[in-house]
Structure 1
Amino acid sequence: MMKTMKKWIALPAAVSLMLLSACGSNGEGTGNAEKSASAPSTQSPPASEAAKPELKALMRLGPNFEKDPIAAMLEEKTGYKVNYEALPVDKPEDKLNLLIASSEPYDIVSTGGDSSSKAIYADYAKKGALVDLTPLIEKYGKNIKAALSAETLEMAKVDGKIYAIPTRSIESVGTSLMIRKDWLDKLGLQVPTTLDELTAVLQAFKEKDPGGNGAKNIPMAIKGDVPMVDNIVGAFGMVNDWNDVDGKLIPRAMNPSFKDYLSYMSDLYKKGLLDQEFAINKDATVKEKFTNGKAGVIVLHWADIPQIDDALKKNFPDAAYVYIPALAGKDGQTGLAQSSGFDRITFVPKSSKHPEDAIKWIDAKLDPDTFKNMAIGLEGTHHTFKDGNYYPILPIFNDERGSASNYLTGIDEKNYPIYWQARVRKDERLYKGWEALNKQQKPEAFKKNPLGLAPYLPDYSKEDAQLGQMVNDYAVKVIVGAEQLAGFDAFTDKYKKAGGQTSYDEINAWYATVHK
């Protein structure tokens, strides 16, 4: 996935002026100039080619599109040849701003789906840089309307109009606490199920040193840029950045439970149960400490399990690990963050030469058979179907459908979460990890992000990134003892004045309309 495109919010003045100018240029950009300079064709193209022009698409990420079997399949099934490009991984927002501002004639553009990206999308729409897709979807979007829920399309609206095709995220739990099961077995301990049991296990890991590390023993390691630890925050009723408390959405910084969480984590740090170097830990550092046998507990996404398993088993062939289930706090609170909202959004710039064909192409991709073929290929060739489940046929599934997610411009919301599981079954270790988090938990443990499908909220979108950083910085300082909890109220006041109160008011004005 692409990193959040936070910088889009502050377009340079020159780029903004170029953007406004470009919106009135009817797409006369560099691409058109080049076309005008080319010699006219002496032969009329076949009717089929004239009816379906070549489209130009800018995707979030991508493989070598020219050699990818999925691109060839989509061309055959939709009848459209598409010239794909991908945004760069480094500073993608800079390139996109320039491309939009200079009226580059892209017909399809896919970006991220987080709050910052939605803010940029709304900004483009309000500046007149995007095509209103509402009438085009009505006229050409039979499959779009069948595949995407009314809720999804509603959340894509800006000023009552649809300017993008959203791709819904698959609602699933991605991360939790991973623990060395062989360490537990060595000490005769069970996998912890409550916060108190976790504390006791960490204390045993420190005192009895099942890994044989001596002074280098680390009961639990976390990253410095993520001091809000998945699963543990759930035991304090703060699974997401904003959580429902008595019918209101409250950010962590304004939640009294945040103080209790910081007290708990600070206590772990003081007792040596939390990595003393956590403030400077990077993701790779944490994983290395786990696979080198120094750390007993880390936060891990299930997608990283094969990498971790290979490295750990190389050093410790008999090592075993399991996910800790959703921990219960002192009041019985529990929760694992379940992703919700948009994975990406796809829009049609005003500079597009073929807006109608762009929507026709997206609609053709969402034909049920074509979409399934794109997602998991053909039965008997790329996958098998048994007992209601899809299983990949390897290695051809990886070779010919491994990059399917790069082509998503909206999904079959009913079936894709089922198709998608074939991708998890590519490796038994992956599936076991995903299953532990998503099928072996109590249903009440799953907590969706309540803002995942929120509409564009300008104040929240503008302030979210810097407020989130403020919370993380404060949390780290309190945990390591650089700040005292006696100043918690002062921090909350500072947070409110920095935009937290404005965001709170805006979010809850919306939430009151959907939460009855």
Structure 2
Amino acid sequence: MKKHFNMVGLTATAALLILTTACGSGTDKKADSTQPSATKEAAKALTEITIIAPTYNDVPKNDLEAIGQVNQKLNVKINASYVPSNNYDDKVNVMLSSNDLPDLTVVWDITKQNWTQALQQGAFWDLTPYIKNYPNLSKIDAGIYSALSFNGKTMGVPRVRPQDGHESLIIRKDWLDKLGLQVPKTTDDMYKVMEAFTKNDPDGDGKPDTYGFASYSTPGPQTYLFSMFGSSTAGGISQGWAKDSSDKLIPAFTTPQMKTALTYWSKAFKEGLIVPDYPVMKAQQLKDMFIQGKIGMYIGNIVDIYNSPNMIKELQKTNPKADAVAYELPVAPDGKHYYERSSGNFGQLMINKKVPEDKMKKILELMDYGNTLEGWKQINYGVKDKDYTDTNIPTIVVQTDAGKANQYPNPGQWIPSYFNKYARAENGDMSPEIIKYDHDLVDSINKNSILDPATGINTPTNAEKGADFLKKIYDNEINTLVGKNSLEDWDKFVKSMLDDASYQKLAKEVNDAYKAKTGGK
């Protein structure tokens, strides 16, 4: 699954989430050509910075008071253009092909062929020697930079996102209690809970109208079903890669763990423990079905329970005793926890090579400020006590009606954001006790989460045929899970892929690129 890390929208009374990061302080005092520099004369000159970024609602204005304050603080003039997110890729692709990109561009995926070619042709600044001189950008986790690197070089500033917290088992706790069940610790435990939630009338209405579990398969299957068995890391190429005993990368869908996962879930589907609409289900339907009391478990963000609409509040409208809690996924049959670690970004901010070096450094100064808590709040949420108000949790604010009218938080799309590892585990509706519980849950998940070793890699064959390969993988996974294809059919499919000359070429390219990226390690 393409794990985009989407901003979550809350109600007017709910608190809004900010992505946060621990920021360092101080800079390298040694003078060199890569350091931020500006003479007194240059400092007087206003630097105009043109930007293109996506928007998920209406287009915000450039004359917002908070943006004016940033302009004054940094002696810049921000001139941002916004494109609706569903049209954004098309727009920037046209601008790229016509060599008409602005100074700073939000780029979602540099592994696409046109962006790869542009990078090879030197269309963007190589920021590798510069990042170290910016106190906040230099503190972003090296793994996040690595996931976005191109031929080992830092070609952009990450739009940072949390790496864990998107993969928890959300359960109707009151159903567990009513049926005398414990929180499932193993996949066998989970199966028994699915059976009980489906067959033992957990809602007490005397009707067989509940299901133990729900997932989705549109536009692709929810890969957590497989990764919890240790079979998939859900990367961009062929749904993820794993290391074999010789440290060679192999497609995760070809592993024995994937077949174990398909065996487990196909049995559950056949026995009616999973919502029968699974083949056409979409991600947003999971929360709806949970609130409607139709399902007892699903896998999702820890914060899903409290994001608008707050699931507990909605459930308690009809059942005052209803409760929902996020837990760790059960251990796989080998006794280990497995989670997909996010790459920690939602694309990156790339600087046009047409931009002079001094201006490039000024843009990095703006990005560095946008990576602080102060800068992120100011650009993303506006003027304090006018567009938003603080809470007792530094990373959570309440957007005012005035702030929403000014289209906050849309301006924040063109800065790195303030990294918060707990962003998927915090919400203003949570009590301090719940926040601590959820923070601990993220910390526990982080100990076992795995980043796809092929993250950030693209190959010529994948650019040409990757989409077709991925569709075949998706189709066969879904068809096997719902019983349309047998497990023997799955084995035949895996063999056909491994025997395919084009796929063999792709696998070789992935391994060669991985060795080049890691220095052969």
**Do the structures match in fold with TM over 0.5?**
yes
Cα separation, 1, equivalents of 2:120 and 2:441: 40
- Aligned twin of 1:479: 481
The answer to whether the 8 Å contact 1:170/1:339 transfers is yes
Shift of 1:406: 2.4
Change (3 A) 1:483 1:192: same
Shift of 1:144: 7.2
Q: Is 2:48 the counterpart of 1:54? A: yes
Root-mean-square deviation over aligned CA pairs: 3.9
The answer to whether the 8 Å contact 1:195/1:232 transfers is no
Shift of 1:298: 1.8
Aligned equivalent of 2:115, options 113, 121, 145: 121
The answer to whether the 8 Å contact 1:339/1:448 transfers is yes
Letter aligned with residue 347 of structure 1: M
Residue by residue over 1:54-90, the C-alpha shift from the partner in whole angstroms, topping out at 9 and shown as x without a partner, is 2210013366143545423321221111111123222
- Aligned twin of 1:170: 162
Counterparts of 1:34-45 in structure 2 under 5 Å? none
Q: Is 2:196 the counterpart of 1:204? A: yes
Counterparts of 1:332-347 in structure 2 under 5 Å? 332-347=335-350
The answer to whether the 8 Å contact 2:339/2:445 transfers is no
Shift of 1:160: 6.6
Counterparts of 1:450-461 in structure 2 under 5 Å? 450-452=453-455, 454-460=456-462
Q: Is 2:130 the counterpart of 1:137? A: yes
Shift of 1:287: 2.5
Residue by residue over 1:370-396, the C-alpha shift from the partner in whole angstroms, topping out at 9 and shown as x without a partner, is 8331124599976578xxx73545456
Shift of 1:3: 9.4
Aligned equivalent of 1:94, options 90, 93, 100: 90
Shift of 1:215: 3.3
SS at match of 1:505: helix
Q: Is 2:186 the counterpart of 1:187? A: no
Identity %: 21
- Aligned twin of 1:20: none
- Aligned twin of 1:219: 212
Letter aligned with residue 124 of structure 2: V
- Aligned twin of 2:332: 329
Residue by residue over 1:163-187, the C-alpha shift from the partner in whole angstroms, topping out at 9 and shown as x without a partner, is 4333344322213321111111100
The answer to whether the 8 Å contact 1:392/1:426 transfers is yes
Shift of 1:153: 5.4
- Aligned twin of 1:502: 505
Stretch moving more, 471-480 or 71-80: 71-80
The answer to whether the 8 Å contact 1:166/1:344 transfers is yes
Change (3 A) 1:153 1:223: closer
Shift of 1:359: 3.6
Stretch moving more, 253-262 or 58-67: 58-67
- Aligned twin of 1:318: 321
Shift of 1:398: 10
Shift of 1:145: 6.4
Cα separation, 1, equivalents of 2:383 and 2:174: 40
Change (3 A) 1:259 1:355: same
The answer to whether the 8 Å contact 1:239/1:335 transfers is no
TM-score normalised by length of structure 2 = 0.75
The answer to whether the 8 Å contact 1:168/1:340 transfers is no
Letter aligned with residue 244 of structure 1: K
SS at match of 1:331: coil
The answer to whether the 8 Å contact 1:137/1:144 transfers is no
Letter aligned with residue 211 of structure 2: I
Change (3 A) 1:287 1:364: closer
Cα separation, 1, equivalents of 2:148 and 2:263: 40
Counterparts of 1:335-374 in structure 2 under 5 Å? 335-349=338-352, 352=354, 356-367=358-369, 371-374=372-375
Q: Is 2:79 the counterpart of 1:73? A: no
Change (3 A) 1:87 1:330: same
Cα separation, 1, equivalents of 2:494 and 2:384: 58
SS at match of 1:188: coil
TM-score normalised by length of structure 1 = 0.76
Shift of 1:322: 1.5
Cα separation, 1, equivalents of 2:69 and 2:178: 53
Cα separation, 2, equivalents of 1:155 and 1:357: 26
- Aligned twin of 1:435: 439
The answer to whether the 8 Å contact 1:112/1:344 transfers is yes
- Unmatched tracts of structure 1, length 5 or more: 5-46
Residue by residue over 1:82-138, the C-alpha shift from the partner in whole angstroms, topping out at 9 and shown as x without a partner, is 11112322232221122223343511111214x645x5432222345x233459838
- Aligned twin of 2:242: 243
- Aligned twin of 2:412: 406
SS at match of 2:224: coil
Shift of 1:265: 0.8
SS at match of 2:232: coil
Change (3 A) 1:308 1:227: farther
Letter aligned with residue 466 of structure 1: D
Letter aligned with residue 185 of structure 2: T
Cα separation, 2, equivalents of 1:357 and 1:443: 38
Residue by residue over 1:449-475, the C-alpha shift from the partner in whole angstroms, topping out at 9 and shown as x without a partner, is 3333x4554444554443333222111
SS at match of 1:273: coil
- Aligned twin of 2:24: none
Residue by residue over 1:452-509, the C-alpha shift from the partner in whole angstroms, topping out at 9 and shown as x without a partner, is 3x45544445544433332221111112221111122321133332854333222223
Cα separation, 1, equivalents of 2:128 and 2:293: 59
